[in-house]
Structure 1
């Protein structure tokens, strides 16, 4: 699996959830003027044969309030809709993941930060386990 394949699958999962938020692959459009958006991108994926792991990012951006404070409530609202998308299956060891196109997609970690476009964003790192 290539990284672009993985983020295409993730974008389809997000679109099917009808979040009401614009979703971009790799980068936000430079002329986008919306108040909230999601960018899905990836870190390097190994093309070696056998069982591999790669990582994708889901970044949920929401414009800051006029005071410059993050709109944490809206970010939490969107995040709450995304988390279950990656917990469709639970194995005997309590690992949760979702299978698509022969790969497993699981929440790996999360972080919260500000961005230069006067948004704050919630980052979810998604571990993708696949067999080349």
Structure 2
């Protein structure tokens, strides 16, 4: 495919990362990938903190309040994932579209939306009141 065809398709100038409007597209797409990775790490971190909390509850043989790292991981993950969705959506809406950043944002957006649903369920579960039921402490 020649560069004339790319110009005819109005895909923008054929430039590399870090130059002109294409550089802005690469920065936005890269930032959305980084924020998506932060969201995944925060979901994993929440899982680790929740496992530690459950082990502490079994050791104490009573229901314990949630710890601050659980709240921090849940809220930080939700915010990072929301930002990833916003940036990927912004990149897809830019008028001039070099192919690479658009493909990257096109892959990040569905993954970020699915992660957003998971993060919303995590935040919902953290802010729910404790069940108050008795723990099975017989080992």
TM-score (normalizing by structure 2): 0.27
TM-score (normalizing by structure 1): 0.28
Indicate the structure with greater strand content.
Answer: 1
Higher Rg: 2
Higher relative contact order (CA 8 A, sep 6+): 2
Indicate the structure with greater helix content.
Answer: 2
